[in-house]
Amino acid sequence: MATQVELAAAGQITPQMKQIALDEGLAPELVRQRFAGGQIVAPVGANHKHSLVGLGQGLATKVNASIGTSTDIVDIEAEVSKALAAQAAGADTLMELSVGGDLDRVRREVLAAVELPVGNVPLYQAFGEAKRRYGDPNKLDEELLFELIERQCADGISFMAVHCGINLYTIERLEKQNYRYGGLVSKGGASMVAWMKKNNRENPLYARFDRVVEILKKYDVVLSLGNGLRAGAIHDSFDRAMVQELLINCELAQLGREMGCQMLVEGPGHVPLDQIEANIILQKRMSDDAPYYMLGPIPSDVTASHDHITAAIGAAQSARYGADLICYITPAEHLALPDEQDVIAGVKAARTAAYIGDTVKYPQRGRARDLAMSKARRDSDWEQQYELALFSQDAKAIRAERSPADSQVCTMCGEFCANRGGNQVFGHLVEGTCKA
């Protein structure tokens, strides 16, 4: 079947493009042009009915949640529950990143349960299967890898993080800079580096990139160029290995787009706050504005147990400067496999960050809601406040737990409510237009 890129390039406005234009308040023709140019993508895929999500230039910043088993904890029911919790909390996409247990079964049960576009990382299953069959992940053969990629696409995966940007030249940069402060933090990336060093061979996902594209095009799966050498410490940000992989991924994004595949670029991991803007400028400039999927970024290395807050700070800046999809971080990051409450906290923190960033990226669209909330607070209109809140049920629950004696105020100020006092003095001006 033709992909969204190919249809757009042929001048066709597809139903998906029309719906994204309607959802985002844009002209359908503009959306078509941006699909054709690779500035907008939509995880479509095949064999899995899911919500339609547009990612890219001019669209609201979206949020991805990640779930998945580990080799220590394999509980499929728990992963399905986490996936559903992420969906209920407002995630736009989901990544199923299991590495333990029957990976085909986990993936298929998650796909059957959720209505979100689902992504994954094929290297996890590939190296796991090589270890199971041969006792050594470094004995992975290329045909198994490509067979697994196709199997996962056929199951209904909508976007796939494929580590195409790691090559022998990139690894040479890592060696010449005497490795890193934070080491390698990508499971797929570290496994591929080990395979390349052990076998003294080029990464097949880079060497045979055309075959990767061919498979994903067949199912119109978005090819998300995995960030296998992303910085795992802020002192590694913008090192030679990270920049070299980003450069290669941006080149591949353009090449894949020319071949008719929907392309997404991933990055960057741990990045100091003052380098986030530069990272996005670099990615956008080198890729012709391909959508950017931000992993974090985490702008500090010392906030374990509260990394979801740290990441939200970085994500708000990322959304502000042009990131298109934010991968959430949970309180369990760097510590343990997230549980359901971690997932919910991570999604809500990332949603908050994306919203804040979009109020700067799209001020005319984004701040109307904040203005309405300001008026509702001034006027003690509690029902309107709940309706406008990002997390309405949470707001209602907190107020209900600490109900005030006077229903017009809250227990923070009680009878000393500043808004009520101000309205008694200036209420006659409320219908006027503020000059501020």
Last residue of a domain, one of 361, 376, 395: 361
Give the domain CATH number at 62: 3.20.20.540
- Asked whether the beta carbons of 13 and 34 are under 8 A apart, the reply is no
> How many Cα neighbours within 13 Å face the side chain of 145?
25
pLDDT digits (tens, 9 = 90+) for 90-133: 999 999 999 999 999 999 999 999 999 999 999 999 999 999 99
pLDDT digits (tens, 9 = 90+) for 202-251: 999 999 999 999 999 999 999 999 999 999 999 999 999 999 999 999 99
Q: What was the pLDDT predicted at 412? A: 85
Task: Give the Cα separation of 192 and 188 in Å (integer).
Answer: 6
Residues 144, 283: one domain?
yes
Supply the range of the domain harboring residue 20. 1-37
Q: What was the pLDDT predicted at 388? A: 96
Q: What was the pLDDT predicted at 307? A: 98
Does 428 score more than 80 pLDDT?
Answer: no
Q: Is residue 375 part of a domain?
A: yes
Q: What was the pLDDT predicted at 436? A: 60
Residue 296's pLDDT band (boundaries 50, 70, 90)?
confident
Residue 315's pLDDT band (boundaries 50, 70, 90)?
very high
Averaged confidence pLDDT in the chain: 95
CA dihedral 94, 252, 286, 182 (to 10 degrees): 60
Residue indicated by tokens 């509690």: 382
Residues 402, 286: one domain?
no
Residue 275's pLDDT band (boundaries 50, 70, 90)?
very high
Residues whose CB is less than 8 angstroms from the CB of residue 143 and which lie 6 or more positions away in sequence, other chains included: none
Share of the chain above pLDDT 90, in %: 89
Residues 22, 131: one domain?
no
pLDDT digits (tens, 9 = 90+) for 189-211: 999 999 999 999 999 999 999 99
Q: What was the pLDDT predicted at 435? A: 64
CA dihedral 29, 35, 38, 40 (to 10 degrees): 100
- Asked whether the beta carbons of 228 and 194 are under 8 A apart, the reply is no
Q: What was the pLDDT predicted at 410? A: 86
Residues 332, 408: one domain?
no
Q: Based on the structure, what is the number of domains in the chain? A: 3
Q: How far is CA 160 from the centre of its chain?
A: 12
Does 408 score more than 90 pLDDT?
Answer: no
Phi/psi at 134 (5° precision): -115, -5
Q: What was the pLDDT predicted at 366? A: 72
Task: Give the Cα separation of 263 and 286 in Å (integer).
Answer: 14
Residues 321, 208: one domain?
yes
Q: Is residue 10 part of a domain?
A: yes
Q: Is residue 287 part of a domain?
A: yes
Residues 47, 124: one domain?
yes
Does 280 score more than 80 pLDDT?
Answer: yes
Residues whose CB is less than 8 angstroms from the CB of residue 244 and which lie 6 or more positions away in sequence, other chains included: 169, 170, 173, 229
CB count in 10 Å sphere of residue 210: 10
Residues 207, 226: one domain?
yes
Last residue of a domain, one of 361, 389, 412: 361
Does 33 score more than 70 pLDDT?
Answer: yes
Q: Is residue 188 part of a domain?
A: yes
Tell me the two tokens of residue 431: 């219908």
Residue indicated by tokens 């090589």: 130
Q: Among the listed ranges 31-35, 158-162, 272-276, 408-412, which one has the minimum average pLDDT value?
A: 408-412
Q: Is residue 167 part of a domain?
A: yes
Q: Is residue 387 part of a domain?
A: yes
pLDDT digits (tens, 9 = 90+) for 336-353: 999 999 999 999 999 999
Q: Is residue 434 part of a domain?
A: no
Q: Which helix (H) or strand (E) holds 397?
A: helix 392-401
Last residue of a domain, one of 334, 361, 388: 361
Q: What was the pLDDT predicted at 247? A: 97
- pLDDT (average), residues 154-163: 98
Residues 246, 293: one domain?
yes
- pLDDT (average), residues 34-42: 98
Does 431 score more than 70 pLDDT?
Answer: no
Residue 429's pLDDT band (boundaries 50, 70, 90)?
confident
Q: Strand 159-162 vs strand 222-225: parallel, antiparallel, or unpaired?
A: parallel
Residues 236, 379: one domain?
no
Residue 283's pLDDT band (boundaries 50, 70, 90)?
very high
Residues 118, 245: one domain?
yes
Residues 347, 388: one domain?
no
- pLDDT (average), residues 413-419: 83
Q: Is residue 436 part of a domain?
A: no
Residues 327, 407: one domain?
no
